[in-house]
Chain A
Amino acid sequence: MNETPHTVTTLPAERRPGCPFDPPAELLDARRHGPLSRCTHPGGKPGWLVTGYDTARAVLADPRFSSRKDLMNVVDFELPPAPPGEFLLMDEPEHSRYRKPLVGKFTVRRMRMLTERIERITAERLDAMEAAGPPTDLVTAFAKPIPTIVICEILGVPYEDRASFQEQIDAFMGGEVSDEELIAAYTATQEYLARLVAAKRARPTDDVLSELTDSDLTDEELRGISLILLAAGFDTTANMLSLGTYALLRNPEQLAALRADPSLTDGAVEELLRYLSVAKTFHRTALEDVELDGRTIEAGTTLVLSYHTANRDPGRFADPHALDVRRQAAGHLAFGHGIHQCLGQQLARVEMRVAFRALIDRFPTLRLAVPPEEVVLRPEAADIFGVKSLPVTWDAP
């Protein structure tokens, strides 16, 4: 391939008005030119943009592409290495040292054993919505509290600490506060997690964090792991539940099909993961010159992988821009691929299967309480895409 590659100049590109579920037009256009484009990172450095499914999968499976934070070449100053425990931004062997002790705690079977508990948590939220009556904001009434309570139980956050803990994480995950408030909330969460780790080591309880004190991980590392479990396990699922409900309400024939046939639930969750891909982009940096799709990725250059656009690749998924709850969506990249594929994906699946099913069963007349164009979206610069709020209503009996 000798012709000049297609170039995308403005990252992050914005979504088109009226198309809240689709990748930005510039990324879809890039994919039509080929799986690999040149781009300029928001920090000004030149890089590569991956929008093709096969190419994204190949990069994610290739150890010549690094996840290390300190190697990321996107801004013109040096980034520090990932703090202890934050293994998402590490390569082997450090990555496995942290991931290995966690894997057995998030297996398919162990997560399915949480189903009943998650059903109870979900039912309590639905009871509260029903008692308060319509309309309500689905984000604060339903989508956020369910994964928050679940991750609090996994980390063993005592019941009496949960309200203040949730306020802190809301502040630093929401992206809606000033820099000073953000730093204050981040520091408070770090301090809280440090105290929590010390408490679990002194008096273990029945939770994952207490079990991990039995490993060779230090308190500082356990605090980092707790932060990553929190960050990865809360905002992602919360935004899938709210944006997913919005997508179903905007595709009434799909919602009707799902409502009529509970056996479609598991597949619908996979399809919503593919279609929405709320964790929309990740980065990798070439450790050496790598030939990829006929181009040379120079050592030290950082690639942006658009999972969202790759999950809309017509070469992999027929009619990719249609939400189709009957589709075979397995193989989507919403949880990534390669050694960093989401550790908590089986938990996320149980949460979504339970919560979507219970919501649509409880409120057969659920609908938006505002015109669709008034639903406010998160900015494209946010790590996780979603709606800021989702006003919904229903016919109260």
Chain B
Amino acid sequence: MSAPRLSADRARCIGAGMCAMTAPDVFDQDPDEGLVLLLHAEPPAAHRTAARMAVGVCPSGAIALHEPQPGDLA
């Protein structure tokens, strides 16, 4: 079974910082542009709830969590 995978689109990001605030172990903002940095594309289980919340509160739809589908090959 494969793990859920995150993606971040810096072109859509507006740098509100909601992801870095909500899931600081998974997301950061780069110090110059303030845009999203993905620290863990496959977040460990302990950080998945926070990562899901971060996706839910992102104002610009710049981050997404791709849950593995039942038919996916591991």
Contacts and interface: CB of A to CB of B under 8 A. Distances in A.
Contacts of A330: 22, 53, 57
Given A109-B29, A109-B31, A104 B57 contact: no
Contact of A339 (B22, B33, B59): B59
Nearest to A333: B59
Given A61-B59, A349-B21, 20 more contacts: A61-B60, A61-B61, A99-B14, A99-B15, A103-B14, A104-B15, A104-B30, A104-B31, A107-B15, A107-B31, A108-B17, A108-B20, A108-B29, A109-B31, A110-B31, A331-B57, A337-B59, A338-B60, A339-B59, A342-B16
A105 interface: yes
Given A103-B15, A104-B15, A107-B34, A339 B60 contact: yes
A341 interface: yes
A342 B16 CA distance: 7
Contacts of B33: 100, 103-104
A65 B12 CA distance: 17
Contacts, number: 64
B35 interface: yes
A20 to B, nearest CB: 28
Contacts of A343: 16
Contacts of B35: 103
A345 B34 contact: no
B32 interface: yes
7 nearest interchain CB pairs?
A: A103-B15, A103-B34, A104-B34, A341-B59, A108-B17, A107-B29, A108-B20
B55 to A, nearest CB: 11
Interface in A337-373: 337-339, 341-343, 345-346, 349
A341 B20 CA distance: 15
Contact of A341 (B14, B21, B31, B34): B14
A106 interface: yes
Interface string B29-64: 111111100000000000000000100110111000
7 contacts: A61-B61, A107-B17, A109-B29, A330-B53, A335-B16, A339-B59, A341-B59
A233 interface: no
A336 interface: yes
Contacts of A346: 17, 21
A108 B54 CA distance: 14
Contacts of A105: 34
A336 B59 contact: yes
Interface string A101-142: 001111111100000000000000000000000000000000
Interface string B1-25: 0000000000000111110111010
B49 to A, nearest CB: 12
B44 to A, nearest CB: 21
Nearest to B54: A330
A297 B57 CA distance: 26
B34 to A, nearest CB: 4
Nearest to A95: B14
A109 B35 CA distance: 12
A349 B16 CA distance: 12
A324 B34 CA distance: 32
A346 B18 CA distance: 9
A118 B30 CA distance: 23
A107 B20 contact: yes
Interface centre among B16, B21, B61 (most CB of A within 10 A): B16
Interface centre among B34, B35, B61 (most CB of A within 10 A): B34
